[in-house]
Amino acid sequence: MASEATEKVHVLIIGSGPAGYTAAIYAARANMKPVLYQGIQPGGQLTITTEVENYPGYPEGIQGPEMMVHFEKQAARMGADIRYGLATKVDFSQQPYKVEIDEEKWIEADAVIISTGASAKWLGLESEQRLNGFGVSACAVCDGFFFKGKDVAIVGAGDTAAEEALYLSKLCTTVHMFVRRDQMRASKVMQDRVLNAPNIKVYWNTDTDEILGDKKVEGVRIKNNKTQETQEIPINGFFVAIGHQPNSDIFKGWIDMDETGYIKTVPGTTKTNLEGVFAAGDVQDKNYRQAVTAAGSGCMAALDAERYLTAKGLA
């Protein structure tokens, strides 16, 4: 680790969704001189979302990418040092903590805020990516409203898929639910609710073959993986609910996580098992995963970091 390639900063924020940018706003206003690295997807998951209607303060709604530009500009105006770059490795063996950027430069920091988010798991279809934001979504709570009174499909078999199918059933005419096996992984109570919902139609042993439509979702072709029979269903929205993957790999071995990789924080705080390292947003939240909750935890992380640095005499 060459010393000439090491830069010392006060507060380092890794990631640039609502959590990271909000942490930067609060940290900059508290004169903590935060440096934020945006990561591989500046703005996070909201940059692949079209209309956002449920974030307070935007009565007419706003496009996800535009909203993240607003967050970034506000953080920059407060004095945050926002940089493009990806955290590729960490060394949390001693303080100050060290974080490698783009496999070439090391940053030392008195406090670190991890806000690297989570990424939706996708089926891997070309049509799924092409129509993402044009009828394809990985968040029913975010986008279900746009399909009020329409027919939609959802793929998944766990509790999240069941919850989202039930949420959609309150808004949509029919919800077609595709399950790959002959049973669901969801808890018994959630399965019962889905199977008893009059407008949710469950298809067992079913794979999604293709999402149909040129500029927007118009239908879906499914295949029964036992009989190989295919079927086309007209729909307006296609929801993927096969899980999320927290972007936490580089912290493994240093930070306590659950079995799926979500960072564990002390309840009611953003504190991790390492003092001076805080986690905010979707990387530590598998329950809510909303822009507004991520922003709230970004605020908490900055306040927790400020209190930590003050107590250490480093503020």
Q: Which of 143, 151, 282, 285 is catalytic?
A: 143
Model pLDDT, residue 1 = 42
* Percent share of the chain, pLDDT over 90: 87
Model pLDDT, residue 160 = 86
Distances (CA, A) of 31 to 21, 167, 271, 279: 15, 43, 21, 20
Q: Are residues 184 and 274 in the same domain?
A: no
Q: Is 214 a catalytic residue?
A: no
The pLDDT-based confidence of 141 (bands split at 50, 70, 90) is confident
Q: Are residues 114 and 258 in the same domain?
A: yes
Q: Which of 139, 207, 209, 299 is catalytic?
A: 139
Of 196, 216, 240, which residue sits at a domain end?
A: 240
Q: Is 282 a catalytic residue?
A: no
Model pLDDT, residue 123 = 96
Structure tokens at 107: 């940053």
Q: Are residues 126 and 220 in the same domain?
A: yes
Model pLDDT, residue 299 = 98
Q: Which of 91, 102, 110, 142 is catalytic?
A: 142
Q: Are residues 162 and 99 in the same domain?
A: no
Q: Are residues 127 and 199 in the same domain?
A: yes
Q: Are residues 184 and 284 in the same domain?
A: no
Q: What is the pTM of this model?
A: 0.83
For the ranges 3-7, 13-17, 121-125, which has the lowest average pLDDT?
3-7
When divided into structural domains, the chain yields a total of 2
Q: Are residues 210 and 257 in the same domain?
A: no
Of 198, 225, 240, which residue sits at a domain end?
A: 240
Model pLDDT, residue 43 = 83
| Cα 2 to Cα 20: distance, rounded to the nearest angstrom | 28
CATH number at residue 225: 3.50.50.60
Of 187, 220, 240, which residue sits at a domain end?
A: 240
| Cα 308 to Cα 290: distance, rounded to the nearest angstrom | 27
- Write b or e for each residue in 137-173: b if 16 or more Cβ atoms lie within 10 A of its Cβ, otherwise e: bbbbebbbebbeeebbbbbbbbbbbbbbbbbbbebbe
Range 262-286 average pLDDT:
97
The mean pLDDT value of the chain amounts to 94
| Cα 279 to Cα 272: distance, rounded to the nearest angstrom | 7
The pLDDT-based confidence of 78 (bands split at 50, 70, 90) is very high
The parent domain of residue 268 ranges over 3-119+244-311
Model pLDDT, residue 4 = 52
| Cα 161 to Cα 156: distance, rounded to the nearest angstrom | 5
Q: Are residues 274 and 233 in the same domain?
A: no
Q: Are residues 161 and 232 in the same domain?
A: yes
Q: Are residues 35 and 181 in the same domain?
A: no
What pLDDT, in 10s, does the model give residues 203-256?
999 999 999 999 999 999 999 999 999 999 999 999 999 988 999 999 999 999
Q: Is 143 a catalytic residue?
A: yes
